[in-house]
């Protein structure tokens, strides 16, 4: 039986990092050279081949080029602590621990066990890989990340969905590692003349996503603004300060009455001041004579927004200004990125897409497919669109007298928001995933369960935005007098 087994030396190859747990247990030829062992370490961990770096053996630093053809276990032997290998490319600290000799059924080098993801040469170090993973987890939780971080990830993983990214940064695929090591099994091919390290193995390429019903192509054709390289309006410093001043004006008004009603609403005196200062009567019938928050839903929308953004903190009977709010009152220029990238009414993936389409149409100045929409809506449909429009009228992003017209400052802000939002949509694969598309199409009176490409026309987009009493019903307390078309 033993004559069918291959003699092997077990080597534990691991990344010495507090951020990532990555290790590979590999069986190698007992006579492997230092140069061959370096290539095996690269293949096991998924690093692209590069010119040899150096190793630390105790206090000694050894350049691999100086001992390239020396037997690895004679030259690098340190059974108590192992040795540290540093490739010439990147800031990777790879630990090599020599374990026992054994006999294996497979030719060497061969994979025995593996944990943790393959390393990414283009990232450069374990700390940055961990940061990428944290960004992906934020996006999984629906939390936006800075656009520069999204662009960095996209440049390395251009065809990955969000779930593929999570898997790539947390898991390994044993057969792929075994294949890379198997390609090194010929000693003649391991160290080609001149040390050309472009081969012998190729990093795994991302799988392209399938588009099951053609919605992605349709939307990108109809809304090129969703394409990541499409130019959008820029948010200038002057526009940011204008919007910041508007926001701080609202926050300053709150200080006139910090008490709340028994139901947790703004008190009548504060409601009247906000209606007057924000010109709510220009777009909400009856607001001029109203004094209760429940009678003027836009004020309730504003209230929800201020809580969502953590500008106010509430108890059962009063509200207090948060610390960041007090700083803003002293300098509107301190309005942070969280304000300019806010998406307060996006509760799920379909909200992200419908909000993005809204932003596209606002930037174009084209009419929205919204007609006869009640001011109070049922639980179905893109309520976030209606709430966003009303909020933006109060924040000075949309004109108070025209919900289809962006103000000069608002145009830059919506451009910046869409710049970030389309990155999130691409990141999460919302235009690719069948489940997400079905969710969107379920807002139609007759849901499309198996749509085809020709089903996806502008009527479909109209249904993304439109609610009506016949198809969706209205709350029992709905007041017909409060119906106002956009």
Interval 442-456: pLDDT, tens: 332 222 222 333 333
SS3 content of the chain, % helix, strand, coil (to 5): 45, 15, 40
| 128 CB neighbour count, 10 Å cutoff | 16
Residue pLDDT tens, the chain, 486 long: 455 788 999 999 999 888 789 999 999 999 899 989 999 999 999 998 888 789 988 778 889 888 888 888 877 765 567 889 999 889 999 999 888 888 988 889 999 999 999 999 999 899 899 999 999 888 888 788 888 888 889 889 887 788 888 899 999 988 889 888 888 764 344 443 443 433 333 333 333 444 344 567 777 888 899 998 899 999 898 998 899 899 999 999 999 999 999 889 999 999 999 999 999 998 888 898 999 998 999 999 999 999 988 899 999 899 999 988 888 888 776 777 778 878 888 877 778 888 888 899 899 987 665 433 333 333 333 577 888 889 999 999 999 888 778 999 999 999 999 998 888 888 778 876 443 443 343 332 222 222 333 333 444 444 444 433 333 233 333 333 332 222
CA distances from 227 to 19, 184, 270, 271 (A): 34, 42, 43, 41
pLDDT at residue 459, as a whole number: 46
pLDDT at residue 469, as a whole number: 31
pLDDT at residue 214, as a whole number: 58
Q: What is the CATH code for 6-116+175-186?
A: 3.10.290.30
Between CA 184 and CA 181 the distance in angstroms is 5
pLDDT at residue 160, as a whole number: 79
pLDDT at residue 437, as a whole number: 42
Between CA 207 and CA 160 the distance in angstroms is 7
| 256 CB neighbour count, 10 Å cutoff | 11
The sheet carrying 60-63 orders its strands as 60-63, 54-57, 83-86, 94-104, 6-15, 23-28, 110-115
Residue 41's contacts (CB-CB under 8 Å, 6 or more residues apart) are 13, 47, 85, 94, 96
Token pair in block for residue 187: 């000693």
Between CA 12 and CA 116 the distance in angstroms is 13
pLDDT at residue 117, as a whole number: 95
The pair phi, psi for residue 109, each rounded to 5°, is -75, 145
The domain ranges of the chain are 6-116+175-186, 123-170, 237-432
The pair phi, psi for residue 157, each rounded to 5°, is -125, 70
Which residue matches tokens 């139609």?
A: 444
pLDDT at residue 75, as a whole number: 75
The DSSP H or E segment spanning 438 is: helix 434-441
| 366 CB neighbour count, 10 Å cutoff | 10
């Amino acid at each position: 039986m033993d004559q069918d087994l291959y003699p092997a030396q077990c080597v534990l190859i691991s990344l010495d990092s507090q951020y990532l747990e990555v290790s590979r247990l590999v069986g190698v030829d007992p006579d492997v050279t230092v140069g061959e062992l370096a290539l095996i370490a690269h293949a096991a961990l998924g690093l692209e081949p590069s010119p040899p770096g150096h190793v630390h053996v105790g206090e000694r630093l050894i350049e691999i080029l100086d001992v390239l053809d020396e037997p690895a276990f004679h030259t690098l032997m340190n059974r108590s602590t192992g040795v540290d290998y540093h490739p010439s490319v990147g800031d990777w600290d790879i630990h090599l621990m020599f374990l026992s000799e054994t006999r294996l059924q497979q030719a060497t080098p061969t994979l025995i066990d593996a944990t943790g993801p393959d390393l990414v040469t283009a990232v450069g170090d374990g700390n940055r890989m961990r940061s990428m993973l944290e960004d992906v987890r934020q996006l999984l939780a629906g939390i936006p990340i800075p656009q520069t971080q999204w662009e960095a990830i996209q440049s390395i993983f251009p065809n990955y969905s969000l779930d593929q990214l999570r898997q790539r940064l947390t898991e390994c695929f044993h057969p792929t590692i075994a294949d890379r090591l198997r390609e090194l099994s010929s000693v003649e091919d391991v160290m080609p003349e001149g040390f050309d390290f472009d081969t012998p193995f190729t990093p795994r390429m991302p799988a392209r996503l399938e588009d099951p019903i053609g919605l992605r192509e349709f939307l990108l054709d109809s809304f090129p603004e969703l394409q990541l390289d499409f130019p959008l309006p820029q948010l200038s410093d002057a526009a940011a300060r204008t919007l910041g001043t508007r926001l701080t004006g609202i926050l300053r008004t709150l200080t006139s009455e910090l008490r709340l009603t028994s139901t947790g609403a703004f008190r009548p005196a504060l409601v009247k001041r906000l209606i007057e200062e924000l010109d709510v009567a220009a777009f909400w019938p009856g607001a001029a004579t109203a004094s209760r928050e429940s009678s003027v839903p836009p004020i309730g929308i504003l209230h929800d927004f201020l809580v969502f953004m953590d500008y106010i903190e509430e108890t059962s009977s009063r509200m207090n200004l948060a610390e960041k709010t007090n700083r803003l009152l002293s300098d509107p220029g301190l309005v942070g990125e969280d304000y300019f990238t806010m998406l307060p009414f996006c509760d799920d993936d379909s909200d992200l897409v419908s909000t993005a389409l809204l932003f596209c149409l606002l930037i174009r100045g084209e009419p929205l497919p919204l007609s006869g929409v009640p001011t109070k809506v049922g639980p179905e449909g893109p309520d976030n669109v209606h709430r966003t429009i009303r909020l933006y009228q109060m924040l000075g992003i949309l004109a108070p007298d025209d919900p289809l017209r962006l103000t000069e400052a608002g145009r830059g802000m919506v451009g910046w928001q869409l710049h970030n939002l389309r990155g999130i949509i691409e990141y999460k694969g919302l235009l690719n995933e069948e489940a997400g598309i079905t969710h969107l199409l379920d807002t139609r009176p007759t849901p499309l369960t198996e749509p085809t490409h020709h089903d996806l026309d502008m009527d479909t987009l109209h249904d993304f935005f439109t609610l009506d009493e016949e198809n969706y019903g209205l709350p029992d307390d709905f007041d017909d007098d409060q119906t106002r078309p956009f």
